[in-house]
Structure 1
Amino acid sequence: MMSVDVLIACAVLQDHADQLSVLGNIIRPGAETQQRTELHLKTAQLMARSSLSDFTGELHKSQKQISIQESLLTPDNLAKVQRDRQFVSDVINGLMVELQEENTFQSLFSAVGEDRKKKVQLLDIINREEEGCLRIKALQKQLLDIRKQKTEECERLEELGAYLREQVQNMRVRTNRQEKFVKSCAEQLVCQGLKLSSHKENELEDEAGMLQERIEEEKNVHMETEIFLKRQHANLREKLQFWIQRYEKDMEEKEQEISALKNKRNNSHARIQELSKKCRDMQEVIIEDRMEKEHLRAQLEKEQKERGAATKIQAWWRGTLVRRGLRSPKKADKSKSKAGKKGKKKKK
């Protein structure tokens, strides 16, 4: 069930929609002003902020202002007025449907937001158009500068072309002169060449005659040298035969001498072996003699050492006896008497 405020708002909106449709039939289609659109947006904002009763009062006031300002419209703005009227009519119809179904104002907010987006897009397009105009002006200025540079460059190139044409003309004159000079020089060189060639031909003919004479001389010399070399070859062959025989004879003599020397070497080798055997025998005898002498010398040294040791022992023993005799005279006398008896026995 819808409330009373909603029904009142729907009735008011329906009334406004009817008035807008009547207004659209009265004015030409496609006419509407920007000021009227702002008033409609203001009514939408007031409708969103205030209650339904306040919204109806503000809506009546806005209609009065619209009716007053319609007299001030120009024919050029009628199309804009018609578009704004159609927009407000669509917003009111959508708002009525939403109020009847959902009791909300979201379609009004969405319509206002879309309108703001469109305005932002229009402002963006205008700014881009202004930037494009500025860029076009800058490009036109650059184009004028480039045209000026190109005209200056064309003038400079024309001057350069005239200078080059003049240079080409001068070069043609110079080349004609050079061709004449080269032609005259070539003719002179040809004449000189003919003279030199004729002179050279005469010299070559003389040289050919001289060479023919030298060839004849060389042939004679060749024949003489060939005969001389044949004689030398025969003499050398005879000498070679003689030296071959001499070589064979000398080889036989040397072989006989070598065989005799080999026999002598064998005899001397046998003699050397015999003498070496005798030498080894003598060395063995000498070594044995030395060993015997060494053995005798060692034995004599041993006997001398034993004698020395015996004398030392006897001296020590006598010393001990003397020391004992000094201690006991009787024993000493006895020992002397015994010693005297022993001495007598030895003498006997």
Structure 2
Amino acid sequence: MADQNRISKMDALLFAINLEVAILQLRLVESCAKYNELYNKASDTRKSHKRNKLSKERLLVKDVLRRTLLKLLSEGEAAALKESVFLLQKSAIYDVQLRRSNEELKYKIEELSTELIKMRLESTENVDNCERNISLLKDKIKDTLLNTNMQLNYVDKWLFARAESLDLEHRIELPPPPRVDFEKRVHEQVIKLYELQIKEREASLEYWRSRYNKDIADIKENVKLQCEKLKEAVDRRTELQKLYDLHEGEMRAWLTFKQERSARLAREERSRVAATRIQAWWRGVMVRRILGNLDFTAVRFECDKQLCG
């Protein structure tokens, strides 16, 4: 198996040259990144996290290439590179699974939130209806109590006046005994006083009766006005509800526009990152063109020096 995994010397030499070129490219990229960090300090924590992540990934790739180069020089195999590729594929599959589970959880959370919002709206409608019914019942009870108290007051006064008038009308007077003339005059004056009192009682009875009828008519008119105001309020509420239903689609359209705008900004950000990566690669190519061909003997001497160290 070891002989089968081993590769030829020419292929190993070409592969080693490619690995050394890749290591040099990574060094150039690291130097460019350090230069950017020195002269373009990131004010945003997100950018700093991205830079740290890129530096860690570059260190990982450099470590894998170095281990592969050492294995290739010592044993003539590229098992370290295969293992690292296998681990990266495994981590990528795990990331995809995590993203899928995250999307499923987000979808479930959105469904639950919509159900909770519907339940809350239904509960608020029920509470509003109950409060409206309670207020109507309270108003009816207050009106009935006021009407009954007023009617009882009028009835008591009317009964009192009627009883006094009937008492005065049906009072039995004893026949006066024979007396002197002045006693007769006194009795006549008393009778006149009683008659005046009876007339006053009857007048007060008629006054309270007319006032009762007038107050009942005023109360009925007031009740009619209140009913008309209530009808106007109900009509106004229905108009407002229709207006809300009419503009509900516009509000939803605004929310969808916000979501689409955030998605468009994310796409633009991804395209910008890809463009920066391409620019960095092209800068590395231009640097290699300026520096000229690679001196493999010097690189080999440096590699041997590192191995000996």
Instruction: Tell me if both proteins adopt one fold, taking TM over 0.5 as the criterion.
Output: no
Please, what TM-score do these two structures have when normalized by structure 1? 0.30
Between structure 1 and structure 2, the one with the greater Rg is 1
TM-score (norm 2): 0.34
Higher relative contact order (CA 8 A, sep 6+): 2
